[in-house]
Chains A and B, each alone.
Chain A
């Protein structure tokens, strides 16, 4: 262990809003966190824009905004094509904390958006999205052990759609093996920073936010039961810490009930900005030259610029007018007489740094309860499906087991996590 800094444990609870954690700890479901709350500083934290895990965790581990780390979503367009590419850790343009202080030893488990797992002084097991376990493990010698443990990166979302029974079965299985692995590595590796992210919280909230809110819901008790299990895991980890060790807990974004899903591409199509061939197999490659703008999940609007895309049609001198036109259009979009979009932001308003040119031209911030998405072929502007929870920007949380709360800003955001952690480690 390095000298002059405290051993640090970071527990991530993916998608857990401040309010839910506050409530479940107060009502006794999460009694370990209730105790912790009394021993430390617990605050609301602002997520990234857009409020998706790939972006916010990238900000958390680098301390940078997307304009600096270059990640604006789980997807991007492959350069020179209309082919949606998925996030890869190798595309992160800023250094994560384990590359900033290489003399420390790290154990990092289930951190989203870190596939493929690369060099680290310690162990890194990537989280969602990881297309296979092989690439999600560094160093590779741990692979056999993980396979032997039947370690799963995540629940299988398609299986979870089959039944809620299968959802809970997987949630608990994944949590249990994750904890077995965590405790094993906690003992085996001589670490300085130990980071463990629970992602089942986010999956459960997506599927059953309604069960959380509704006490009579058939799965209300199961919902609470899972959070109880997560709280037990928190208790186990906390029990391993000594007085001097630092504990940080946080979420990457919050969650709330979906009132309505709004399909941004359906709107662009309806208004004549998006034209595609009727060939779902070609995905975004079905975009026709007449297209002026298209959206990527969840709320990113890109102009179909000449020179940037194969069938780009927007000239540089048209861009400004188009941005104004689209801004007005989205401001006027209504559902049941209420506005759908709270704010239409230009990239320069939100991001700063070297990679702002990679950013979407416009980012939509939805009103409460409105879930924006960018399904390309759906003709339905408004639709509901089996999911009931959606991400929120304003109510992620941060917790530090210290009363030294001057190190935690009043209104922290995900970019502040790293500075908070470094300053508290130095003690």
Chain B
């Protein structure tokens, strides 16, 4: 079977510069009103990489084109110029190293907002991270790669524009946003800071792309949280309704196929991501830009081969209430001997993906660019888990592999969210169109995290932020530590809530119209575990 992008053509290639279209029947050309259409007939491009070819129709496949090279992630444009906005972050740095190791010409900008936000909360990355200068030097020394970094605030559009002109990126990965719901809910200033940076930064970026690199693809990080968690259990499609979706009302029926699905953000941060979605969608429509908007599940983990190659290459890891994602927090709490904190009922279901798998998804998306005008969404998850189950899994790994016994505590839920809800996610694009198969299991990555975070120097850093893990930022605006409702030993709770449903391909789909409640369907077989130790109280 051919690799996922073998049959893509110049039409998808960022090196193909659109030069208008020609209608030989009328001996006419059109440079202004270029027609957007499926047929490539009469569409004229020039190859920025092989100008000697002159002008031609964009029909050469990646498999045929000498500029595209076969890699384990599909065909990849030789020395592809990828610019990463937010290159200093958890994901940005990790992706930079991976792409550079694959032969991409990686450039990136950052103004260290993330480092400052974390410092402002008096927190720190528990995995020590080097300065950007040290990082770049280590990348050169250990991996033999050169990364073109520039300290730029993405809101400084003039400087960003100059750098884009200099680099002429063929793909732009936009990680340059403040990625925290609780941070955006601290107070008005924080909400404004998050929305201004995220929304205006992205909007300016779109105008710059139109001006400077309209052929580049924009790989934009959104979040699965844009959809919310509808209580009806309606599937969360990939951005748009599928062709056969219909709306029934008052005895009448309409097709919903191709329309954007409803978004139901759950924080001012999530609102910023939804606004980005609309801005990008419109820019693709108005200007023929092209973008994949990634509804990424909650990310966790510490490992890729590149970041693990040297301590100076490590990417950051946050475990505080603002920037620590749930699995990362649980592992930190386990190592600190704190009960794992689940909010409310703990039956919230979320999509998740390990760092290494997320980086593979990104590489595959970059390797297979959208076509001009295409806006598409991928739901980037490798599994759906209930928070309660995650706590159980972390506790099990802690106990079985690291001899750490840990309890679980239910605390007041500081957020406004359903803590019991059905959840069905469609994630068909990445497996079926981009050839993605998750490589890392939840247990494997949690194990790697314990291995890294139990190292003495990291344990020491964990202790410094231990008091920042349990939340005190309330969606209501209150500022107080949540109260513990209940502390219990892992394995002692009857499963409750709904069973998550992940649809990854048509062949796997089983029609389920009524969400399944765990307490009805799943009998409790396991007796409570005995291994409960003392001193598990919260610190």
Residues of chain A within 8 A of B59, CB atoms compared: 81-84, 281-286
Known: A83-B57, A156-B33, A376-B41. A131 touches B28 (CB 8 A): no
Give the residue of B24, B30, B61 whose beta carbon is less than 8 angstroms from that of A282.
B61
Residues of chain B within 8 A of A199, CB atoms compared: 27
Q: Name the residue among A128, A203, A281, A377 with the largest chain B CB count within 10 angstroms.
A: A281
Contact B29 A283 (CB under 8 A): no
Provide the bound-state CA to CA distance between A280 and B37, in Å.
10
B40 interface contact, C-beta 8 A:
yes
Closest to A371 in B: B25
Give the residue of B19, B39, B57 whose beta carbon is less than 8 angstroms from that of A132.
B19
Q: Name the residue among B31, B33, B38 with the largest chain A CB count within 10 angstroms.
A: B31
A402 interface contact, C-beta 8 A:
no
A-B contact pairs, 8 of them (CB 8 A): A75-B24, A81-B60, A83-B56, A90-B54, A131-B29, A156-B31, A280-B38, A281-B11
Contact A283 B27 (CB under 8 A): no
Give min CB distance, A87 to chain B, whole Å: 8
Contact bitstring A144-188, B, C-beta under 8 A = 1, else 0: 000000000111111110000000000000000000000000000
Give min CB distance, A352 to chain B, whole Å: 26
B53 interface contact, C-beta 8 A:
yes
Provide the bound-state CA to CA distance between A75 and B27, in Å.
12
Give min CB distance, A197 to chain B, whole Å: 12
User: Which A residues from 23 to 75 make CB contacts under 8 A with B?
Assistant: 52-53, 74-75
B21 interface contact, C-beta 8 A:
yes
Residues of chain B within 8 A of A375, CB atoms compared: 41
Give the residue of B25, B26, B56 whose beta carbon is less than 8 angstroms from that of A85.
B56
Give min CB distance, A305 to chain B, whole Å: 18
Known: A83-B59, A285-B61. A159 touches B11 (CB 8 A): no
Known: A83-B60, A129-B22. A154 touches B55 (CB 8 A): no
Provide the bound-state CA to CA distance between A203 and B26, in Å.
6
Provide the bound-state CA to CA distance between A147 and B9, in Å.
34
Binding site for B on A (CB under 8 A): 14-15, 52-53, 74-75, 78, 81-86, 88, 90-91, 128-132, 153-160, 199, 202-203, 206-207, 261, 280-286, 297-298, 310, 371, 373, 375-377, 385, 387
B486 interface contact, C-beta 8 A:
no
Known: A84-B59, A86-B55. A131 touches B26 (CB 8 A): no
Contact B39 A86 (CB under 8 A): no
Give the residue of B31, B41, B55, B60 whose beta carbon is less than 8 angstroms from that of A285.
B60
Residues of chain A within 8 A of B10, CB atoms compared: 83
Provide the bound-state CA to CA distance between A131 and B22, in Å.
9
Known: A83-B60, A156-B31, A158-B33. A91 touches B26 (CB 8 A): no
B46 interface contact, C-beta 8 A:
yes
Provide the bound-state CA to CA distance between A218 and B26, in Å.
20
B32 interface contact, C-beta 8 A:
yes
B64 interface contact, C-beta 8 A:
yes
Known: A78-B56, A377-B39. A387 touches B26 (CB 8 A): yes
Contact A131 B46 (CB under 8 A): yes
Closest to A282 in B: B59
Give min CB distance, B51 to chain A, whole Å: 10
Give min CB distance, B92 to chain A, whole Å: 33
Give the residue of A75, A128, A203, A282 whose beta carbon is less than 8 angstroms from that of B40.
A282
B20 interface contact, C-beta 8 A:
yes
**Please, how many residues of chain B have a CB less than 8 angstroms from a CB on the other chain?**
38
Residues of chain B within 8 A of A130, CB atoms compared: 29
Provide the bound-state CA to CA distance between A376 and B371, in Å.
21
Contact A74 B22 (CB under 8 A): yes
Provide the bound-state CA to CA distance between A117 and B274, in Å.
48
Q: Is the interface of B mostly helix, strand, loop or mixed?
A: loop
Provide the bound-state CA to CA distance between A298 and B24, in Å.
8
Give min CB distance, A48 to chain B, whole Å: 14
Give min CB distance, B214 to chain A, whole Å: 14
Give the residue of B33, B44, B57, B58 whose beta carbon is less than 8 angstroms from that of A131.
B44
B521 interface contact, C-beta 8 A:
no
Residues of chain B within 8 A of A74, CB atoms compared: 22, 24
Provide the bound-state CA to CA distance between A45 and B54, in Å.
32
Known: A284-B57, A284-B59. A52 touches B24 (CB 8 A): yes
Contact A203 B56 (CB under 8 A): no
B121 interface contact, C-beta 8 A:
no
Contact B57 A203 (CB under 8 A): no
Q: Name the residue among A74, A202, A283, A284 with the largest chain B CB count within 10 angstroms.
A: A283
Give min CB distance, B499 to chain A, whole Å: 40
| Contacts beyond the supplied A284-B59, A387-B26: 5 A-B pairs with Cβ under 8 Å | A14-B27, A52-B24, A83-B59, A158-B30, A207-B26
Residues of chain A within 8 A of B57, CB atoms compared: 83-85, 283-284
Give min CB distance, B484 to chain A, whole Å: 59
Give min CB distance, A224 to chain B, whole Å: 20
Contact B30 A157 (CB under 8 A): yes
Residues of chain B within 8 A of A75, CB atoms compared: 24
Known: A131-B19, A285-B60. A202 touches B25 (CB 8 A): no
Provide the bound-state CA to CA distance between A82 and B9, in Å.
12
Known: A157-B23, A206-B25. A88 touches B30 (CB 8 A): no
Provide the bound-state CA to CA distance between A14 and B28, in Å.
12
Provide the bound-state CA to CA distance between A209 and B378, in Å.
51
Give the residue of A53, A132, A281 whose beta carbon is less than 8 angstroms from that of B27.
A53
Closest to A89 in B: B54
B494 interface contact, C-beta 8 A:
no
Known: A131-B31, A159-B30, A281-B40. A91 touches B54 (CB 8 A): yes
Provide the bound-state CA to CA distance between A285 and B59, in Å.
6
Give min CB distance, B71 to chain A, whole Å: 23
Give min CB distance, A164 to chain B, whole Å: 13
Q: Name the residue among B11, B19, B29, B32 with the largest chain A CB count within 10 angstroms.
A: B29
Provide the bound-state CA to CA distance between A223 and B284, in Å.
39
Give the residue of A52, A84, A385 whose beta carbon is less than 8 angstroms from that of B56.
A84
Residues of chain A within 8 A of B27, CB atoms compared: 14-15, 52-53, 128, 199, 202-203, 206
B34 interface contact, C-beta 8 A:
yes
Give the residue of B9, B34, B35, B64 whose beta carbon is less than 8 angstroms from that of A281.
B9
Residues of chain A within 8 A of B371, CB atoms compared: 281
Residues of chain A within 8 A of B54, CB atoms compared: 85-86, 88, 90-91
Contact A86 B11 (CB under 8 A): no
Contact A129 B29 (CB under 8 A): yes
Closest to A91 in B: B54
Q: Name the residue among A53, A86, A371 with the largest chain B CB count within 10 angstroms.
A: A86
Provide the bound-state CA to CA distance between A74 and B24, in Å.
8
Known: A86-B56, A158-B21, A203-B28. A283 touches B41 (CB 8 A): yes
Contact bitstring B351-374, A, C-beta under 8 A = 1, else 0: 000000000000000000001000
Closest to B40 in A: A283
Give min CB distance, A132 to chain B, whole Å: 7
Contact A132 B41 (CB under 8 A): no
Contact B40 A310 (CB under 8 A): no
Residues of chain A within 8 A of B24, CB atoms compared: 52, 74-75, 297-298, 373
Contact A85 B53 (CB under 8 A): yes
Contact bitstring B437-481, A, C-beta under 8 A = 1, else 0: 000000000000000000000000000000000000000000000
Give min CB distance, B107 to chain A, whole Å: 27
Give the residue of B33, B53, B58 whose beta carbon is less than 8 angstroms from that of A159.
B33
Provide the bound-state CA to CA distance between A354 and B26, in Å.
31
Contact B9 A285 (CB under 8 A): yes
Contact B28 A280 (CB under 8 A): no
Provide the bound-state CA to CA distance between A129 and B9, in Å.
23
Provide the bound-state CA to CA distance between A206 and B32, in Å.
20
Q: Name the residue among B27, B38, B56 with the largest chain A CB count within 10 angstroms.
A: B27
Contact A373 B25 (CB under 8 A): yes
Closest to A78 in B: B56
Contact bitstring B1-20, A, C-beta under 8 A = 1, else 0: 00000010111000000011
Contact A156 B30 (CB under 8 A): yes
Residues of chain A within 8 A of B7, CB atoms compared: 282
Give min CB distance, B6 to chain A, whole Å: 12
Q: Name the residue among A199, A297, A371 with the largest chain B CB count within 10 angstroms.
A: A297
